[in-house]
A and B are shown apart, each in its own frame.
Chain A
C-alpha cells in the first residue's frame, strides 16, 4: 500500500487507540495525531483525581513521552480551524496547513449547554477538558460559600465529590425524579441518593435550572431554579450531558447530524474521511439496544481498534458485544453488564436484592423464560468474563445463581454477598441449586454477610 499519511484529529481514547493499533499493523504508515487540548494523551476520566490531589497531571498520561517517538506517532499540539476536504488539507488556527491521505476525526464531545440566561458568566462551566479542570481549580481556589451543580448523571456526581473535597457546600439540581434516571431503576437510585445526602450534598430532585444571575463583575452570584428559588453560589457546574464536538465542521461539505454521520465502517459522507468515538453518529444503531451516538470510554476504544483493523487487514463493520459500563458514586461502585431497564418492562422477570446496610445491591433482569438479560450491581464487583459469558450464552437465572460465587470479583476476605443473593433468589423464584457455603476462612475471620 505504500506509506499513507494518516491524520487523526483528537488525542483521546478513540484517536489514540486507533493510532496505536494502526502502528501495530502497519509499519509504513505515517501517523500524525493533532490535539489543541494537551500535547499527550491523558485519561479524561482522571481529571477529578487531579483536582482532589489523588494524582498529579503526569499520572493521567498512560504513556511516557518516549513511547510516541518509539512508535513513530507524530504529535502536534494545535487547534484545527477548518478542513478543506477537496484538497485534503487541514488549516490550523495559526494559518499553518497540513495534508492528509486519510483523515480520522476523533474530536470527542463537549458539555451540552441549553441556552440558559447567564450561562456565559464567569464561574459557570462543564467538566470535560483539561482547560475545564484548570478554570475550575482557579475559581475554587478562592474561599467559596456555595456551589450548584446541574444535571443528575455521572459528571454531576463527580463534580459534587470534587467540591466536597474542597469542603465547598453543594446544591445538586436533578431535573428528573431520581438520580441518573435513564440508567438506574428506582431502588438503586434511592440507594445512591441516600449516599449522596450522607455526603452532605443538598440534593434537589425534579428541579431545573432556569437562570444564572450575575454580580457587578460578570461572575455568577446565584441560580434561579424551576421552583423560583434563588440559590446564592459562585460556581455553577453544568453536567447536563455532552454533545459531539463538531462545530468547526458545520459549514463544510461533510454530513453532520448530531455528530459526524458514519456507517458501521466508520466511513463519513466523504471519501477517506472517517469518524470514531464520541463525535461519530451511526446511521443506524450498531447493535440491538445500542444508540446511534455512543459516548463512553469503552466504545471509543473499541471503535478505534476496529477501524485500525480495517486498515491493516480487511474492512470490518463495528459489532459491539455485550454492553457493559461502570462508574463510582462517591464510595459506591457501579457496574452493569447486558441490559437492565431502568423501568419495569412487561414480560421481563426482575430480581433485586439489597444488603441491609443499604450500600450493596444486585439486580438481574431475565426474559419471560427466566434467561438472563443483564445485571446491575452496586457496592460489590462482578467478573466481566463471567457476566459476558452468562449473557452471551443465555444462561437461566438459576444457573447464574448457582455459579455466582465464580462471578464475584471483590478482593479476598470480603463479605460473601453472593450467599445472601443466592438465598434471596431461592426465596423469590425457587430453584434446585445448592447455595454456596461459607469457606473456612470466611468462618474463621467472621466476615459478615
Chain B
C-alpha cells in the first residue's frame, strides 16, 4: 500500500509539474485575420491597424507576446484618456483572446495528450494516493498528525502550497493570457459540452470540479464510519458537477443563457447587473424563469430552508465555495483562528461585505429601472470595485489561496455576504442547533481545534449550552472529533434552543447557572 501511495504521489507531482510547465511551452504568431476574427466589430478596424507591427512576427513566450501587444495597444488608450475621450477608449481586454488564437505549442497540437499528462495525472495520482493511504478498515476516523505535518501546519510545504494557489488565482483573474496554453487542452471538452470555445473560466471550472471530486473521495474514505459526512460530501460533489459545471455549459449548447441554478445573490453578486437583466429579459420563458427562480431562492429558499435545517443546507451541502472548502480544504480546517478577537473581526467584516453588496445592488437596480438617468455609469465603477476587491481578491485569492495559512473557510467566515445573510436567519429564526450532551464535556478542545469556522465550540459545550452561532456551517466535524460523544447537530423545537442559563446534569447539590 505504501508503494502504491508513493506512486500516486509521484504521478500527482508529475501532473502538477506538466500543468505548471505547459504555459511556458508556447509561441505566438499573430495575423490580421486572427485579429479580425477575435475582436468586436466596433474595434476591428482600429485594432487591426494598431497591431500591424506584430503581424508575421514569432514571439517565443506568452510574456513576449503580451509585451508586444501592450506596447502597440496601450499608447492608443492612453492618448484617448489624456484627451478625456472616454467613450472612444477600448475597455475590452483582448489579451487572452488574441493569445489563445495566435498561440501554438504542445497543448494545442496534442490537447488530449497534454490533458492526460497534466490534469489526468494529477487526478489519477490523487485517487491512488487517497485509496492507498486510507489505512485498514478498523482504523476509524482520525485527525491525528495534522499538527506534525509540514503541509497542514504552516510548514514549508504549506507555505509553498499557499503561494502556488495564490499565484494561480492572481494569474487567473488578472493575467489570464498566461493560462491560454492550458485552455487549449480543454478546448475539445468545451466544444463537446457547449459547442463553443473554452475560456479560462471553463478551464477553472473543470479543475475546480475535478478537485472537489478527487478530494471528495478522500472525505468518504476518511469518514468511512460517518454517514453524515459521506452524504454531505456526495451532495457537494453532485451540485458542483451538475449545477455549477455541466448544466450551464449544456444551456449554452442549447443557445440558452449560461446559468448556475444553485448560485444565490449576494454570493452571485452580478445577478442584478444590467447585462444579466438584459439576458434574462431577452431569453424568453427560460430567461424569465431564471430571474424568478433566482429571486425566489433569495426571498423564500434561504429563509425557509435555513429555518428548518440551518445554513448548512447551503454552506456545506450545496455551495461551490463550501464544496471546495469541505473537500480540498478539509486538511486545513484546524488552522482557523479561534480567538475572541478573530470573532470580533469576523462580525465586522462579513456584515460589512453584506452591507456593501446590498447597497451596490440596490443602486444597480434603481439605476437600471430609471434607464441609467439616476447615476449614469457610476454603478459600473462600483461593480468593478466590488468585482476586484470582493469577487476576485477576497473570494478567490484569499478565499482559496489562504487555506494553508488561515484555514479552509476564510472567505466563508469573513467575507461571504450570502453566508452573512444565511447566518442572520440561522441565529435568529431557525430550528438548527448543536446540542450538548448534558454534563459529558471534558473540555478537551478537539471541537474548537477542528472547527473550520473558528467557533470556540468548547466554550459552550463545557457549560452544557447549545451552540447557536450565525457562522456555523454545520459541517458536523465537532460532533465527530468529540471523544465523549457530547455534540449533536439537530433540528428541533425553537423553544429552549438558546440556553441563556444552562445547567450541567449530574449535580444535585445545587441548581447552578453556569
Contacts and interface: CB of A to CB of B under 8 A. Distances in A.
A54 B227 contact: no
B444 A60 contact: yes
A327 B490 CA distance: 23
A57 to B, nearest CB: 10
Contact of B504 (A62, A301, A318): A301
Interface in B130-147: 138-147
Contacts of A381: 437, 485, 488
B510 A306 contact: yes
Which of B145, B458, B506 has the most C-beta atoms of chain A within 10 angstroms of its own C-beta? B506
A412 interface: yes
Given A62-B459, A198-B138, A411-B489, A316 B483 contact: no
Interface residues of B, number: 53
Pick from A55, A306, A413 the residue with the most CB of B within 10 Å. Answer: A55
Contacts of A13: 443
Please tell me the size bucket of the interface on A: 35 or more
B500 interface: no
Interface centre among A327, A388, A412 (most CB of B within 10 A): A412
Nearest to A57: B147
Interface string A35-67: 000000001011001001111100111101010
Contacts of B145: 52-54, 165
A305 B147 contact: no
A344 interface: no
Interface stretch (B296-304, B380-388, B445-453): B445-453
A324 B141 CA distance: 25
Nearest to A52: B144
Contact of A62 (B143, B146, B458, B514): B458
Contact of B227 (A49, A59, A413): A413
A86 interface: no
Contacts of B140: 330-331
Contacts of A328: 483-484
B147 A45 contact: no
Nearest to A380: B485
A322 B506 contact: yes
Contacts of A319: 507-509
B143 A54 contact: yes
B5 interface: no
A331 B440 contact: no
Contacts of A395: none
B338 to A, nearest CB: 8
B339 interface: yes
A88 B130 CA distance: 63
Interface of A: 13, 21, 43, 45-46, 49, 52-56, 59-62, 64, 66, 165, 195, 198-199, 297-298, 301-302, 305-306, 309, 316-322, 324, 326-328, 330-331, 333, 335, 381, 383-385, 388, 409-415, 445, 447
Interface of B: 138-149, 225-228, 231, 339-340, 435, 437-440, 442-446, 448-449, 458-459, 462, 476, 479-481, 483-485, 488-490, 504-510, 512, 514
14 contacts: A53-B146, A54-B146, A62-B443, A305-B504, A319-B508, A320-B509, A321-B505, A384-B506, A385-B505, A388-B505, A409-B435, A411-B476, A412-B228, A415-B227
Q: Which 5 residue pairs are nearest across A and B when measured between Cβ atoms?
A: A384-B438, A331-B140, A53-B148, A381-B485, A413-B227
